[in-house]
Amino acid sequence: MEDATRALGKGSLPPGPVPEGLIRIYSMRFCPYAHRTRLVLRAKGIRHEVININLRNKPEWYYTKHPFGQIPVLENSKCQLIYESVIACEYLDDAYPGRKLYPYDPYERARQKMLLELFYKVPHLTKECLVALRCGRECADLKLALRQEFCNLEEILGYQNTIFFGGDCISMIDYLFWPWFERLDVYGIADCLNHTPALRLWTAAMKQDPTVCALLIDKNIFLGFLNLYFQNNPDAFDYGLPC
């Protein structure tokens, strides 16, 4: 995988300018938000380089890329910086030729953006479930809330009667949702999909997508990362990389 590089931390040298013909993404191998942008880079066949950031030990120079040191951030050869995962994904779709991930039709584009609003509680809820479980706490209420959000998404698929959220082919909205669904199993909350068959079909269809497949994170490696992360081990981010 292009992103199989060690994370840069405090004291690391700032990277040089981005070579022409390439775009750079500042990322972290297990971050769901950066995952969105990596999916789009892959889906559109955009030549890119990945610089992983140690999120528990951020390089001082990284704050010149993002005021709060967040990922993902795109940097192009004109030194332009783009952040917020959704903004980065749209930028890539607009700036690069080839397959368009957002529809051309203004109403269909708006629909995808409205669907994204429906999704907004999911990242927070999945993270809270993960933290609760890892800290040995109960999370029945959180899982109930997450199931409710999944029911809302189920309703959309039922109403549309399509496999994917944008129609019968995979499109931007599916890639924007995917990272959290990929993590349900490794977070220990895959049973939250028990009552949403259309959503389960969607996840199965997503796993057949070449882009999703190419970026799928090995479950054992992810678990290894999570174990170290919850022990506050700063080497967590490099778990699974060859020594």
Partner 1 sequence: MSGGSARSLGKGSAPPGPVPEGLIRVYSMRFCPFAQRTRLVLKAKGIRHEIININLKNKPEWFFKKNPFGLVPVLENSQGQLIYESAITCEYLDEAYPGKKLLPDDPYEKAYQKMVFELFSKIPSLVASFLRRQNEEDCSGLKEELRKEFSKLEEVLTNKKTTFFGGNSVSMIDYLIWPWFERLEVLELNDCADHTLELKLWMAAMREDPAVSALLTEPKVFRGFLSLYLQNSPDACDYGL
User: What is the C-alpha separation between 40 and 175, in angstroms, rounded?
Assistant: 7
CB closer to partner 1, 79 vs 135: 79
Cis peptide bond upstream of 72, omega within 30 = yes
Would you count residue 107 as binding partner 1 (CB under 8 A)? yes
Q: How many CB atoms lie within 10 A of CB 2?
A: 15
Query: For the window 108-127, what string marks contact with partner 1 as x by the rule CB under 8 A?
Result: -xx--xx--x----------
Q: Rule CB under 8 A: is residue 62 a binding residue for partner 1? A: no
Nearer to partner 1, 123 or 234 (CB): 123
Would you call 135 a catalytic residue per the annotation? no
Q: Give least dist CB 200 to partner 1, A.
A: 24
Q: Name which of residues 192 to 221 contact partner 1 (CB under 8 A).
A: none
Closer residue to partner 1 (CB): 87 or 213: 87
Instruction: Identify which of residues 88 and 189 has a Cβ nearer to partner 1 in the complex.
Output: 88
Q: Is residue 50 a contact residue for partner 1 (CB under 8 A)?
A: no
- Closest by alpha carbon to 65, among 73, 54, 56, 77? 73
138 binds partner 1 (CB under 8 A): no
- Cα separation, 121 vs 124, in Å, equals 6
Report the C-alpha gap between 160 and 156 in whole angstroms: 6
Spell out, one character per residue from 86 to 105, where the chain touches partner 1: x when CB under 8 A holds, - when not.
-xx-xx--xx----------
Beta carbon of residue 36, minimum distance to partner 1 (angstroms, whole number): 15
Compute the least distance from the CB of residue 74 to partner 1, in Å: 9
Q: Which residues of this chain interact with partner 1, rule CB under 8 A?
A: 76, 78, 80, 82-84, 87-88, 90-91, 94-95, 106-107, 109-110, 113-114, 117
Catalytic positions: 31
